[in-house]
């Protein structure tokens, strides 16, 4: 990568980070409050009645899933809203006419979403420490799963923004696709509790693999083999990044 591309990448990434850091009260604080409510309601109140989930307390079981849920939501929403705003304000045309590779444009926007997701992940993890003692089985697994998931959903947010024709289109996928997949992704329960048929159905949900891979990093146990989780994450990333590049390269939704 030549010096011009490095400057372009850092400039886009810095702009994306400043965008959500400038309004940190709206972007960083709400997830911490929301997850605190989950910890209190599901962890302390309901969790005490449930008891253990597998070999762990219910609070220990749901912490990785709640962190992953916050990462998924924020990485997606950050890029989808930012890229569509650039389209709406016609700022994206400046990047398209500049001597900047399309890969750099994608990496800059996705990098901003990943940065926000990582900060949110750290904040939620710190909040969870007030409710449960965090244990770590594999720090490497936690970092790799977190990064791959953040990149995946940040890229998905960019694809959503490319196709979106209005700000309402930005909220359709999170509301009708992302939220159901997340809540049915094993965040609050183990797949082993489901009948065999519904276990098979649940394995169609990609979020199940992300949550379980992340949970393995903390607890050392999961419903899905962690190697399968990593393999699917890598595969999904390759598909979505290639799709995003094709859309940007062809100017879909961008060039009139």
What is the rounded CA–CA span in Å between residue 21 and residue 82? 13
Helix (H) or strand (E) holding 57: strand 56-57
Q: What is the largest CA-CA distance in the chain?
A: 60
Token digits of residue 242: 């290639």
pLDDT in 10s for each residue of the chain, 256 residues: 677 888 889 999 999 999 999 999 999 999 889 988 888 887 677 777 777 777 888 888 889 999 999 999 999 999 999 999 888 888 888 887 878 888 999 999 999 999 999 999 999 999 988 888 888 899 999 999 999 999 999 999 999 999 988 888 888 888 888 888 988 888 888 888 888 888 888 889 999 999 999 999 999 988 899 999 999 999 999 999 999 999 998 888 776 5
Rounded to an integer, what distance in angstroms lies between the CA atom of residue 215 and that of residue 138? Answer: 10
The answer to whether position 90 is within a domain reads yes
Cα 17 to Cα 189: distance, rounded to the nearest angstrom: 34
Q: Residue 53 phi/psi, 5° resolution?
A: -120, 105
102: in domain: yes
Q: Is residue 25 part of a domain?
A: yes
Tell me whether residue 49 is in a domain: yes
Asked if the structure places residue 255 within a domain, the reply is: no
Does 31 reside within a domain?
Answer: yes
* Number of compact structural domains in the chain: 1
Closest CA to 11 of 125, 91, 118: 91
Domain that holds residue 57: 3-250
The single residue listed with the structure tokens 């886009």 is 12
Instruction: Report d(CA 202, CA 204) in Å as an integer.
Output: 5
Instruction: Tell me whether residue 32 is in a domain.
Output: yes
């Amino acid at each position: 990568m030549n010096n011009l591309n490095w400057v372009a990448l850092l400039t886009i990434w810095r702009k994306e980070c400043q965008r959500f850091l400038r309004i940190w009260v709206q972007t960083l604080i709400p997830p911490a409050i929301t997850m605190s409510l989950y910890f209190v309601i599901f962890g302390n109140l309901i969790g005490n009645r449930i008891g253990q989930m597998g070999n762990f307390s219910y609070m220990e079981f749901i912490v990785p899933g709640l962190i992953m849920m916050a990462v998924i939501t924020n990485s997606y929403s950050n890029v989808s809203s930012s890229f569509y705003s650039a389209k709406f304000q016609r700022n994206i045309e400046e990047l398209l006419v500049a001597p900047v590779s399309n890969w750099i444009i994608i990496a800059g926007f996705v990098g901003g979403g990943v940065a926000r997701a990582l900060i949110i992940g750290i904040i939620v993890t710190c909040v969870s420490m007030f409710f449960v003692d965090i244990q770590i089985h594999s720090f490497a697994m936690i970092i790799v799963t977190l990064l791959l998931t953040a990149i995946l959903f940040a890229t998905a947010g960019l694809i959503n923004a490319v196709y979106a024709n209005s700000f309402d289109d930005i909220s359709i996928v999170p509301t009708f696709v992302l939220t159901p997949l997340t809540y049915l992704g094993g965040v609050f329960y183990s797949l082993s509790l489901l009948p065999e048929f519904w276990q098979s159905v649940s394995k169609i949900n990609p979020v199940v693999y992300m949550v379980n891979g992340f949970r393995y990093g903390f607890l050392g146990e999961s419903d899905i083999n962690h190697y399968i989780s990593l393999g699917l994450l890598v595969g999904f990333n390759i598909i979505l990044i290639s799709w995003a590049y094709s859309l940007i390269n062809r100017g879909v939704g961008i060039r009139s």
